[in-house]
Structure 1
Amino acid sequence: MRCKFRAIKKAFTIFLLFGLTSTFLTGCWDCAEVNDLALILAAGIDKGKNENIELSALIFIPSPQQSGQESGISSGSSSGKSFVRSAEGETVADAMARLQEALTREIFWGQNEVLLIGEKLAQEGINDQIDFWMRHSEPRIRADVFVSKGEAKTVLKAMPQLEQDASKQLRKIVKTHIGIKVTVKDLSQMLSGASDAAVLPWVVNLSRSQMDTTKKVVPVISGAAIFKQGKLAGILSDKETRGILWPRNEIKHGVITISFKTEKGYVSLNLLRSKSELVPSIKKGKWRMHIKTKADLEVIQNTTKLNLFDPTVVKKVQQKIEYEIEQRERSAFSEVQNQLKADIFGFADEFERAFPQIWKQKKNQWNEIFPDVAVSFDTKVKIKRTGMAKEKRIRGVER
């Protein structure tokens, strides 16, 4: 009898605990079905009318899952599932609220991976807009940032050939690591850093005449936009942009082609790895920055008669490459340091770490000091692989 009573008491206790626990389980009361969302794939901010901010969004509307198909969060521009919608407001926050008012579905920022800044807005200043993007909990701070020639919304409306939309087109380009890659978080750190300068990829739309038979407009990265004190200061060409990638340790892939006056043909080499180091010094009141670069390459094509199995020839090729790399860097430094006077290389941070006491006294004068910093280069290149095609041809001749 006692055992039966204990069993009943135990069962009642379990039931009571289950009942009390269930009161705290609210379930997915605030969840949203994907069919009720408007997914933001990319956002663009432009200068609007009457000092307003215009927010444009590349929006993807998910379609109901069909039989035998999987529903995915990807743009379907060709089927009309994605479109660009714009709204103006006194601030970005205000424009975002007005954009939501114009849509019947709830805006979801979780898929936003691109932020485009229009040229006019960039010229007036972007500090307030980036500050909002960092403060707001919904837009992603890992989104890639670009500056567009003309209006940002024009780039968002572009329809690339190979990719589904402009957002995916730009993200695929920066993933190659051939050019500059900057996220919202990176940009915020640059704008608030000691150098007070920033660099962003410069985006242009290829004209239809440049794309042969296609009638679609394609956004491409064509150089870099330089910012000083939060405002657009100038544009670097593709060649100058490649020059700033070496000291910033941002060049991961690339092909270098060289030639010699005494030889017909070219030698093309593929970059395997590279690393640069900034070494600051202050002597007798003179600020100097020594840039040490090491790079490993492999030969991928040789149309000259040079025998790359000869150590003397290899050394000659390496010296030529070192010269070419330094020339690209000097060209970039000449534009950025002498013309734009914007420290996009992080010199200020290096001097602050190496000479904290001097920097504390001179930091307010950095804009005057930076153009006069003496820059020197020490580039070391090694050819790791020369290939076998040329050696086989030479042996064949000898036989």
Structure 2
Amino acid sequence: MNTSCRFSLKLLTVLLIAAFLTSGCWDRREIEERTSVVAIAIDKPKEHPDMVLLTVQIPIPIRIAGSSTGGGGADGKHSVEVMSAMGRTVVDAFENLQKRLNQELFYGHTRVIAIGEEVARSGLSQILDPFRRDPQIRRLLWPIVVKGEGRELLAAKPTLEQIPTVFIMTMIENGTRNGRIPEVNLGTFFVDLSSASREPYMNYVEVNGNDIKWSGVAIFRGDRMVGKLSERETWRMMRIRERRDGGNIVFPFEGNPKQLATINTEFVNSKKKVTFNGDQVIVRIYVSIESNLLEKTFEIDLFNPETIKQLEQDATAYLEKYTAELVHKLQHQYQTDAFGIGSYIKAHHNKQWKNMDWSKQYPEADIRVFYDVKLRNSGMGMR
């Protein structure tokens, strides 16, 4: 090949590369040509229980206070639009909603999926199937079970934020950062749903008008919600499953319900020990916690070491008593391994795990939780 041909070949290669680099994405679409959805709700319409009711929350930039294109109300009550559509499936409902809009719906900014409790109790595998497949849907968004209908959460207008979804999102994120709310995103739920060794759960909220409250977690067996844990029950579960601090502990001093002490918790360590007695699984869980005294409703000498020891013993007894009640509820009422004990057995006793039917053996397992509470700081105050 002569010099002229080699030069022509190189020039053609450079031109082809340049053409590919400047062509852009074939399916590119400007963000201004899309309508962003920040939250989605899924319910069963009462008049058509065999259908899916889909609700979306869409922010209206021109109505948001501080927007360069126009002013909005300080409370942001009109900064979002909430729209609903029915369909035979979730995708069908999305398509029916799209027919009413002049721009394509975009779900890359969706941060919350609110699921009505009735939908959660009927099973989520088929409902969430399109969200698993859609590349626009973030795995880090927050799936939430709502008492009543999910669309009530999207219709609420908390006054502390212009965009209601931002309020919900920051409430969950701040709670998870402080160890008070479980960090259950969509990806986590999908992983737990696919696992044979632990059951999934979701954060649970209640809506009363414009008031939104985190109220614990929804417990699942398989893909169906079977019950709910209160806030304090959730904190007990978090200390065992997630090794998180949870919220404050309020307990009676020396068994007197009129003498209450409040401590915060700082998770230190958790250990599990599993042994086998024939087909019965014996589980012992040991949780170490450090704490600070936040409040007391009675007079005691906090400079007395025996008083500190008594507070530690009372806190330990309180936690062990109510955690035992939680274990009984999970084993016999809900029959769901929300503690994730099966995952520990699978990881550390894989030979036995392969021969187990955990769903049947779990309710009969001997599970006990022991605490070691140490009071590190009694705070400033009088005797």
TM-score in terms of structure 1 length = 0.82
1:308-352 deviations in Å (ceiling 9; x for gaps): 232222111111111122223122212111111111111111111
Q: Once the 2 structures are TM-superposed, how far is the Cα of residue 157 of structure 1 from its aligned partner? A: 0.5
Which has the higher Rg, Structure 1 or Structure 2?
1
* 8 Å CA contact retained: 2:36, 2:107: yes
1:326 aligns with 2:324: no
SS of equivalent residue, structure 1 residue 51: coil
1:38 aligns with 2:35: yes
Shift in CA distance, 359/261, structure 1 to aligned 2, threshold 3 Å: closer
TM-score in terms of structure 2 length = 0.85
**1:119 aligned residue (117, 120, 132):** 117
* 8 Å CA contact retained: 1:169, 1:219: no
Distance 2:360 2:64 in 1: 61
Which residue in the other structure is 2:215 paired with? 222
* 8 Å CA contact retained: 1:161, 1:218: no
Which residue in the other structure is 1:189 paired with? 191
Which residue in the other structure is 2:346 paired with? 352
1:221-254 deviations in Å (ceiling 9; x for gaps): 2232111121121222333323322211253352
* 8 Å CA contact retained: 2:116, 2:148: yes
RMSD: 3.1
Shift in CA distance, 341/162, structure 1 to aligned 2, threshold 3 Å: same
Which residue in the other structure is 1:251 paired with? 244
Shift in CA distance, 192/316, structure 1 to aligned 2, threshold 3 Å: same
After superposition, residues 101-250 of structure 1 pair within 5 angstroms as: 101-175=99-173, 176-177=175-176, 178-195=180-197, 197-206=199-208, 216-249=209-242
Q: Look up the equivalent residue of 1:378 and give its one-letter code.
A: F
Shift in CA distance, 18/189, structure 1 to aligned 2, threshold 3 Å: closer
1:173-229 deviations in Å (ceiling 9; x for gaps): 3221313331111111111111462221222112xxxxxxxxx52221223211112
Distance 1:16 1:347 in 2: 63
Count of matched residue pairs: 366
Distance 2:288 2:343 in 1: 22
**1:377 aligned residue (357, 366, 369):** 369
* 8 Å CA contact retained: 2:235, 2:246: no
* 8 Å CA contact retained: 1:133, 1:184: no
Choose 144-153 or 129-138, whichever is displaced more: 129-138
Shift in CA distance, 96/275, structure 1 to aligned 2, threshold 3 Å: farther
Q: Once the 2 structures are TM-superposed, how far is the Cα of residue 77 of structure 1 from its aligned partner? A: 7.3
1:54-112 deviations in Å (ceiling 9; x for gaps): 2211111333999x9668xxx99726231111222222222222222221122121221
